[in-house]
Amino acid sequence: MDEMKLAALLSSRLCHDLIGPVGAVNNGVELLADEDDGAMRDQAMDLVANSAQEAGRRLQFYRMAFGAATGMGAEIGLGEARRAAEGLFLQGKVTLNWPPDDGIPVDKSIVKLLLNMVLLTGGALARGGNLNVQLTREAGSLRLRVVADGPKASFSDGHRAVLAGEVSDDQVDAHNVQPWYTLQLAGTLGTAVEFDDSQVDQVELSAAV
């Protein structure tokens, strides 16, 4: 895919995810400007503070998952990635279960792959549930496994088609670019992302790097 198209599609996807909390900050500021009632102003302040914090947590996660600062050639402890993911799911119906294992330093490109797997699998929990991250050493490689377990847990048809390799580059759009990007990250690491949605109320992504 053309790099300019990829950049545009990823930008559209990230802006879509950020417009909610950023818009809420703007609404709160407008309420503060127009409201004289003390109780209402307190509510507006809470809205601004909570929404700004949510936007900040999302940006921190996206910086690690998509940013150039997480490029090839350097290692990072997985604790930083875990904390970024915890921030992403701090509010909402998804419970992240990622056992601390800060002692495993890995290439930052592996961190990008793992966080994209977390984002993609977490999106399968539209009704909430548990998101379980497992990291194990197997024959000299690191096994990344992310399991979403919850009511009606499933990948969308569009995401599933990408994961199954049924979508060509010219069919990628802002709705399915994130799973496509995840597969490209895996390819740069010489591996592939495997998915399993054969179990009821459960989906899984895994990769060996």
- The answer to whether 146 and 131 are in contact (CB under 8 A) is yes
pLDDT at 71: 44
SS (H, E, C) 124-193: CCCCCEEEEEEEEEECCEEEEEEEEECCCCCCCHHHHHHHCCCCCHHHCCCCCHHHHHHHHHHHHCCCCC
Give the residue carrying structure tokens 């701090």. Answer: 90
Give the residue carrying structure tokens 């930083």: 80
**Which pLDDT score is estimated for 126?**
93
- What does R_g of the chain's alpha carbons equal in angstroms? 18
CATH code of 3-208, in short, is 3.30.565.10
Q: Which residues on adjacent β-strands are paired with residue 203?
A: 148
Per-residue DSSP letter, 12: H
| CA proximity to 121, closest of 167, 88, 170, 79 | 88
Report the phi/psi class of residue 190: left, alpha or beta, with left for phi > 0 and alpha for psi in -120 to 50: left
Mind listing the pLDDT tens digit of every residue in the chain (209 residues)? 778 888 899 888 888 888 888 888 878 787 777 767 778 778 778 878 878 888 889 999 999 999 875 444 577 778 889 999 999 998 889 999 998 875 667 888 999 999 999 999 999 999 999 999 999 887 788 899 999 999 999 999 999 999 999 999 889 999 999 999 999 999 999 999 999 999 999 999 999 99
Q: State the pTM of this model.
A: 0.88
- Residue 104 is predicted with a pLDDT of 67
* pLDDT at site 70: 42
